[in-house]
Amino acid sequence: MNFKPLGKRVLIKREEEQKTTASGIILPDNAKEKPLQGTVVALADKAAKKGIKEGDKVIFGKFKGTEITMDGQELLVLESDDILGILN
């Protein structure tokens, strides 16, 4: 994959969606919520100035970003300002 976000954008690979609840109930596809965390795959130079780097696990807002598909993977492009925090 060769994608370089522009401006202050970041390319995120979302965490895998949960297929069961904590109590073991299997969720159908239409009942699953997309995870609000993922791993930074690529970022623009301006986004790097905010302390974000490739490989960081981040949490982002629920209705933020644009979903794209590249090389068969579903990814999310969002503004670095939409990242709420970095997980340690």
Q: What is the per-residue pLDDT across 29-40, written as a single tens digit (0 to 9) for each?
A: 554 567 789 999
Does residue 19 sit within a domain? yes
Does residue 66 sit within a domain? yes
Counting the structural domains of the chain, the total is: 1
Q: What is the mean pLDDT of residues 30-54?
A: 85
End-to-end CA distance of the chain: 26
Does residue 63 sit within a domain? yes
Tell me which residue range forms the domain holding 49: 9-87
pTM: 0.79
DSSP count for the chain of H helices, then E strands: 1, 6
